[in-house]
Amino acid sequence: MQSLYFGDLKVEVPIIQGGMGIGISMSSLASAVANEGGLGVISAAEIGMIEDNFSTNPREANKTALIKEIRRAKKLTKGVIGINLMVPLTDFTELTNVSIQEKADILFFGAGLPLTVPIDEIKKSGIKTGIIVSSGRSAFLILKYWDRHYGILPDGIVVEGPKAGGHLGFKYEDINNPNFALEKIVPEVIEAIKPFQGKNGKKIPVVAAGGIYTGKDIYKFINKLGADGVQMATRFVATYECDADIKFKEAYINCKKEDITIIKSPVGLPGRAIRNKFLIDVENGKKQPFKCIWQCLKGCNYKESPYCITQALVNAQKGRLAGGFAFAGANAYRIKEIVSVKNLMDSLVQEYEKVASE
C-alpha cells in the first residue's frame, strides 16, 4: 500500500477512520487508528456530551471537550489526527478555531459546502484541510470558490458515496440509483477537479468512502478507480477502542441486512441507521417529547421534529438505545465480532496485499 499525502502530511497507511458523531469517534478510537499508521479522526459534533455542563452550557462544553480530546489523542499517539467539522453546526467556526489552536493535523469539513471557513487562521497555522463531498459538481464548486476567494485549495477530498453511515449527501431517490454509486462518483470527482490538480505544485488526493469493507475493496478503489486512499467508519465501530458504549457496538453485531434503513432526519437529510423500536415509533408518528437545549444545527426546525437528533444520538452513544438509534453504514450487518483496531488494520492490509500479489 502506498502512503497517502495531504501536502507534506504523510499518512503511512492510506486508511482514514471517518469522523463519527456524536461521541463515537473521539480520542480513544482516533489515536488507536493513528498508532497503526492510519489517520484517526475525532468528530467535533456535540462532543461536549462528555462534559457535566453540556445541558446548561453546550457551547462551552463542546469547546472544553474538544480541547481535552485533541490533547488526549496527542498524548496517546504520534500519528496523524484529524477533526471532522460539520458545516451546519452552530458553533462550527469556534470548533474550527479550537482545532487549529490545539494543532490538529488536518480538518475535514463535511455535511455542507464549507464556504465560510476561518481561512486566515487556517492559512497562518499551516494545518491541512480536507473537504467531504458526494459529487463532482460540489467538489468543483468548493475548489473554485476557495481558489477565487481565499487563494488556497483544500489539501484533500473525501468522496462519500450513498452506502455510508450517518447523514447522506444524496436525495432519497438517488441513494439506490447505480448512477450515484461510489464507483461512479469517485472517477467523476477526479475528472471534475482536474483543472485544479497541480496548481501551485499541489496534488490534491482523492479518498473514497462509503461501504468499503475489505482489503479487496480498498484495492479496487485505489488501483482500479484512481483513489489515493479510503475512508472507513462502520468497521471501526466494532472495535474495543471505539468510544461508544458496548450496547451501541452490539447493535452492529446483532443487526441483520433488513434492519439497515434510511431515515428522514430532523435536519432534513436522509441518514442510514439501524432500525429499532425508537425508529419504528417515529415511523408510526409517535413524537418523543423534548426540549431543545440549544439550536445546535443551523437548519434544524426543532418545533416540527418528532424527536431531537442530538438527544437520540447521545442516548445511543451511551448505550440507551430505547431513547435513540445507531447510525451505521450499509455493510454494518456483515460485522460479527468486536476486534482491536490493530487486528482490523492488519487484516485490511493483508487482504489488500494478497489481492495485489495475485
Binding site for ligand FMN (CB under 6 A): 18-21, 24, 43, 45, 84, 86, 110-111, 132, 160, 163-166, 209-212, 231-234, 327-329, 331
Q: Which residues contact 76 (CB under 8 A, 6 or more apart)?
A: 27, 28, 31, 32, 35
In the complex with ligand FMN, the residue whose CB is nearer, 110 or 136, is: 110
Sign of the dihedral defined by the CA atoms of residues 324, 66, 235, 261, in that order: positive
As to burial, measured by CB atoms within 10 angstroms (0-12 exposed, 13-18 middle, 19+ buried), residue 59 is middle
Q: Which residue has the cell 431517490?
A: 173
> Quick one: which H or E segment has residue 357?
helix 341-357
185 and 138 in contact (C-beta within 8 Å)? no
C-alpha cell of residue 351: 487482504
In angstroms, give the least distance from the CB of 59 to ligand FMN: 18
As to burial, measured by CB atoms within 10 angstroms (0-12 exposed, 13-18 middle, 19+ buried), residue 125 is middle
In the complex with ligand FMN, the residue whose CB is nearer, 132 or 142, is: 132
In angstroms, give the least distance from the CB of 125 to ligand FMN: 21
In the complex with ligand FMN, the residue whose CB is nearer, 165 or 270, is: 165
In the complex with ligand FMN, the residue whose CB is nearer, 204 or 297, is: 297
In angstroms, give the least distance from the CB of 167 to ligand FMN: 7
In the complex with ligand FMN, the residue whose CB is nearer, 120 or 337, is: 337
User: How far apart (Å, rounded) are the C-alpha atoms in residues 180 and 295?
Assistant: 32
In the complex with ligand FMN, the residue whose CB is nearer, 43 or 62, is: 43
In angstroms, give the least distance from the CB of 273 to ligand FMN: 8
C-alpha cell of residue 259: 434492519
